[in-house]
Chains A and B, each alone.
Chain A
Amino acid sequence: MSLPGVAEAAALFRARKLSPVELARECLARIARLDRGLHAFVTVTEERAMADARAAEARLMRGAALGPLDGVPFAHKDIVATAGIPTTACSRILRDNVPSADANVAARLAEAGTVLLGKLTTHEFALGGPSFDLPSPPARNPWNAAHFTGGSSSGSGAAIAAGLVPAATGTDTMGSIRSPAALCGITGLKPTYGLVGRGGVFPLAQSLDHVGPMARSAEDCALLLQAMAGPDRSDPASAGRPAGDPASALAGGVTGLRIGVVRRFHEQDNRGSPAALANLEAALQTFRDLGAQVANVELPPLADWHAVAATIMLAEAHGIHGPWLRARFSEYGALFRERVVLGAAISSEHYLAAQRRRRVLCTTMAEAFTRHDLLVTLVQPGEAPPIEGTPRWGVLELGSLAAPFNVTGGPALALPTGFGEGGLPTGMQIAGPAFADALVLRAGHAFQQATDVHRRWPALAA
Chain B
Amino acid sequence: MPDAKPEPPIATLLRQAGYDLPAATLADLDRAHGLLQAMLARLPGTAAEAELATVFHPDAAR
Contact = CB atoms under 8 A, between A and B. Distances in A.
A339 B29 CA distance: 8
Contact of B36 (A322, A349, A396): A396
A344 B12 CA distance: 11
A304 B40 CA distance: 10
A306 B28 CA distance: 22
**Tier of interface size on chain B:** 20 to 34
A311 B35 contact: no
Contact of B19 (A308, A329, A356): A329
A33 interface: no
A346 B40 contact: yes
A397 B31 CA distance: 11
Interface of B is mostly: helix
B14 A341 contact: yes
Nearest to A237: B62
Interface string A316-330: 000000100110010
A342 B32 contact: yes
A342 B46 contact: no
Contacts of B32: 338-339, 342, 393, 396
A342 B19 contact: no
Contacts of B47: 356
A310 B35 CA distance: 11
Looking at B29, B42, B43, B53, the one whose CB has the most chain A CB atoms below 10 A away is B43
Contacts of A303: 39, 42
B39 A306 contact: yes
A350 B42 contact: no
B42 A236 contact: no
Contact of B46 (A338, A345, A349, A393): A349
A354 B17 contact: no
Given A311-B40, A345-B33, A338 B51 contact: no
A356 B46 contact: yes
Interface in B3-62: 10, 13-14, 17-19, 21, 25, 28-29, 31-33, 35-36, 39-40, 42-47, 51-54, 62
Contact of A396 (B14, B19, B35, B52): B35
Contact of A393 (B10, B35, B42, B44): B35
A241 interface: no
B12 to A, nearest CB: 10
A355 interface: yes
A326 B19 contact: yes
Given A338-B29, A341-B14, A359-B52, A352 B62 contact: no
B56 to A, nearest CB: 14
Interface in A331-357: 338-339, 341-342, 344-346, 349-350, 352-357
A345 B43 contact: no
A397 B14 contact: no
Contacts of A236: 62
Interface of B: 10, 13-14, 17-19, 21, 25, 28-29, 31-33, 35-36, 39-40, 42-47, 51-54, 62
Interface of A: 236, 303-304, 306-308, 310-311, 314, 322, 325-326, 329, 338-339, 341-342, 344-346, 349-350, 352-359, 393, 396-397
Given A344-B19, A355-B53, A393-B35, 8 more contacts: A304-B42, A307-B39, A310-B39, A326-B18, A344-B13, A345-B14, A345-B36, A349-B45
Nearest 8 CB-CB pairings of A with B: A355-B53, A344-B17, A396-B35, A307-B42, A353-B43, A307-B39, A349-B46, A345-B13
8 contacts: A304-B42, A306-B39, A342-B32, A345-B13, A356-B44, A356-B46, A359-B51, A397-B35
